[in-house]
Amino acid sequence: MSAPVAIVMGSQSDWPTMKCAAEVLGELGVAHDCRIVSAHRTPDRMADFAHGAHGEGFKVIIAGAGGAAHLPGMIAAMTHLPVLGVPVKSSMLSGHDSLLSIVQMPGGVPVGTLAIGEAGAKNAGLLAAAILATSDEALTTRLKEWRQGQTDAVAERPVD
Q: Is 90 annotated as a binding residue?
A: no
Kindly state whether residue 67 participates in binding ligand RP5, applying the rule CB under 6 A: yes
- The window from 25-33, 59-67, 73-81, 131-139 that contacts ligand RP5 (CB under 6 A) reads 59-67
Kindly state whether residue 65 participates in binding ligand RP5, applying the rule CB under 6 A: yes
Long-range contacts of 73-78 (CB under 8 A, 24+ apart): 73/101, 73/102, 73/105, 73/109, 73/111, 74/39, 74/46, 74/50, 75/8, 75/37, 75/46, 75/49, 75/50, 76/105, 76/109, 76/110, 76/111, 77/50, 77/109, 78/47, 78/50, 78/51
Binding-site member from 4, 14, 58, 87 for ligand RP5 (CB under 6 A): 14
Q: Would you say 4 or 64 has its CB closer to ligand RP5? A: 64
Q: Which residues are annotated as a binding site for substrate?
A: 11, 14, 41
Which residues lie near ligand RP5 (CB under 6 A)?
A: 10-11, 13-14, 38, 40, 65-67, 88
